[in-house]
Amino acid sequence: MHRSGQQLSVNRHRASLLLALCFTTLSVSLHSVLMVWVIILTLCALGAQLGLYFSYQQHAIATRQINLLAILALLALAWFGMSNGLLNSMINLLVTACALKLLQLNTKRDFLQLFSACLFLLGCGFIFNLTVSAWLGYMVLCIGLLLCLRMLFVPSQSLFSGFRHISVLLLQSAPIALLLFMVIPQFPPLWQMPSSKTQQTGLAESVTPGDIASLAQSSALAFTATFEDSPPPRATRYWRAMTMEAFDGKTWSISEKRRQAEKQLHGLGKKLPLERTESNAYQVIIEPTHQRYIYGLDLSSIAGTSRRSARVQFDYALRSFTPIASKRAILLNYHPNAAPISPLEGFDSQLNLLYPENSNPKTEAWAADVAKKYQTPRDVAAHIMGYFATQRFVYTLTPSAMPTTPVDIFLFEKKAGFCAHYASAMAFSLRVAGIPARLVTGYQGGEVLTGRALQLRQYDAHAWVEALIDGTWVRYDPTSMVAPSRISQGLTDTLNTLGQNRNSNMFDAMQKTLFFSAIQSMFRQLDYQWSRWVLGFDNQRQKNLLTTLLGELSSGKMSLIFIGMLLVIALVLAIYFLPLTLKAPEPKETVIFKRAAKLVERHTRIARNTLPANAYYELVKDELPTTARDSFQHITSNFQLLRYTPQASSRNQRLDKMAAQLKLLKKALH
């Protein structure tokens, strides 16, 4: 027995040490957001706890020193906070506060506060890591944290039994949590949250064909698309990300005028006529890019609940309202038969005829010549396409650099390059020839994962040209003239046939073995299903699921569903706990004695209440007829014998005798 206090014992406190370990692991898992000195502070706090546990150190650090540290840390946070963004600063602040708390972990109250903060940090971890493995890791940490808590309140049990109990608790709570997850409506964001400032990935916002290609090297996943019906054929799978309408002679980029026009048009509430055509619904799950563009099959519109978070621009590109900081699922409608009509023909053609004069003089002369030869814009475009096909152009991922007059050098000297070179040269030529044209970047193709799902990787990035002819944007893909297999089979196959390698990865050979490709495809499948069912589970999906399970949803039915959910939870709890609360059956001797006592009670009208058996017998014996008294005495004495000396011999015989005596008693009292 010991006297309790709110004070934790400082040395050899297992729960504190485990909490320190969990906290440190948690902050290391957040290393992409945390500043280096914050992680170092965390490690120091862990070191201090280790010192206390192994008794290198006898006392926790004094409050005064902690306060000094806290002031320094706050100053540092305020200093770096400006450049870090609000979300990152907040997480840094929380981790710093936890680390300082860990340094002076003295009372139960400190412990519980630290625990709660760690739980919250664990949740924040999901902002940055959404993969299956991250989730598993965080679940392990969650078990660890709960184990700390249990060790605090049940200090003397072994680590293993604590672990077992926590696992049982979590397993029991899983069905309830899943039920809540499926039934509680997914609300739209309640207010705007700060987003993380992290290195942007994916497509660049400008294209300079003269530079060396880098994107095509990466096999990282860009996005996954899942169609309700079968996906369209590969040759038509052009995924638009950005349209680039400003050209300075070397670099294509998104036009400032376009950005301003978008804002104005959006403010006016104008709409594109896409929605009226036939559509095919699909979902894209985009890997985090920290940028706002969304990849949509040409042409697509935003569908369902995703309308709250994204919209179609007037250049038919899709934009999210907030940067995509974590894996996000977006519902889209594909309009295969819609024509990309220019919504503002005057503005579009004006913007897309601009080019810097004398930037690529040879091309300008050549394009002017072509324009004179052919009457219609379509003929001009066809001639340029034919030029690529006939002039022995080569498709390569490693073209030489073209620092000055890149279009001239590409078209008339090197004649080797990849999609951006071809698209840039063509769009420039068209502009010179007086045909409004622009560069579109995005992805092309995609690998079939299952019958209805496609995966697009960074090496599927592509660029093509759009020309404005008769009020409609017409797509031209000059790359297809040079390397038709790039469009029909994808990049990897194209390079194989051309005898080039996408990258010089040493694992390449290994990846070709059957075993590795099997494992790789298994992980891809797992990741895809995870993204689709767990990360992409939104309001729409939730409704669909409930509709398939329960039929059409009305508001009355929704309230029934909620009541049903509560009932199911009650049922689950009953399954868990009812068998435990049911009393173990009473031993036979008790049953017989109780029956006898009841008979006697009824006869004598003397209540037994809580009297011991023999005391009750003494109380009533004078009120009973002789035979009944003998029987009751026999039952009482045997009951006491069996009840209080469980190892008594000939138990069964005694029980039989008791039962016989009970019969006699019944007879005697009737």
Residues that bind other proteins (CB under 8 A): 1-4, 112, 116, 119-120, 122-124, 126-127, 130, 135, 138, 142, 146, 149-150, 152-157, 165, 169-170, 172-174, 176-178, 180-181, 184, 186-193, 309, 325-326, 328, 534-538, 569, 573, 576-577, 580-581, 584, 610
Smallest gap, in angstroms, from Cβ of residue 8 to other proteins? 13
Nearer to other proteins, 210 or 304 (CB): 304
Q: CA 115 → CA 93, 144, 238, distances in Å? A: 16, 11, 49
Q: Catalytic residue among 118, 419, 538, 603, which?
A: 419
**What residues have CB less than 8 Å from 21, skipping those under 6 apart?**
46, 144
Q: What residue type is assigned to position 474 of the chain?
A: V
Smallest gap, in angstroms, from Cβ of residue 294 to other proteins? 14
Nearer to other proteins, 328 or 335 (CB): 328
Nearer to other proteins, 390 or 581 (CB): 581
Q: Catalytic residue among 13, 462, 603, 634, which?
A: 462
Q: Are 335 and 341 in contact (CB under 8 A)?
A: no
Smallest gap, in angstroms, from Cβ of residue 164 to other proteins? 12
Q: What residue type is assigned to position 153 of the chain?
A: F
CA distance 256 to 193: 27
CA distance 653 to 577: 37
Smallest gap, in angstroms, from Cβ of residue 156 to other proteins? 4
Smallest gap, in angstroms, from Cβ of residue 179 to other proteins? 9
3-state secondary structure 233-298: CHHHCEEEEEEECEECCCCEECCHHHHHHHHHHHHHCCCCHHHHCCCEEEEEEECCCCCCEECEEC
CA distance 425 to 381: 12
Nearer to other proteins, 514 or 582 (CB): 582
CA distance 55 to 67: 24
Nearer to other proteins, 142 or 498 (CB): 142
110 a catalytic residue: no
Nearer to other proteins, 155 or 361 (CB): 155
193 φ, ψ to 5°? -100, 150
Nearer to other proteins, 180 or 519 (CB): 180
416: helix, strand or coil: strand
Smallest gap, in angstroms, from Cβ of residue 166 to other proteins? 9
Residue closest to 134 by CA, chosen among 288, 262, 305: 288
Q: What residue type is assigned to position 149 of the chain?
A: L
| Residue at token pair 């997914």 | 186
Nearer to other proteins, 171 or 268 (CB): 171
Smallest gap, in angstroms, from Cβ of residue 646 to other proteins? 10
Smallest gap, in angstroms, from Cβ of residue 541 to other proteins? 10
Tokens standing for 235? 């040759």
Bridging pattern class, strands 300-302 and 328-334: antiparallel
Residue closest to 326 by CA, chosen among 282, 286, 295, 294: 286
**What residues have CB less than 8 Å from 248, skipping those under 6 apart?**
356, 359
Smallest gap, in angstroms, from Cβ of residue 262 to other proteins? 24
The strand pairing partners of 417, in sequence order, are 395
165 a catalytic residue: no
Q: Catalytic residue among 315, 348, 408, 477, which?
A: 477
CA distance 320 to 332: 12
Q: Are 287 and 220 in contact (CB under 8 A)?
A: yes
**What residues have CB less than 8 Å from 619, skipping those under 6 apart?**
606, 611
477 a catalytic residue: yes
| Residue at token pair 């940490």 | 141
Tokens standing for 36? 């280096």
Q: Are 610 and 629 in contact (CB under 8 A)?
A: no
Nearer to other proteins, 178 or 365 (CB): 178
Residue 579's Cβ-side half-sphere holds a number of Cα atoms within 13 Å equal to 3
Active site residues: 419, 462, 477
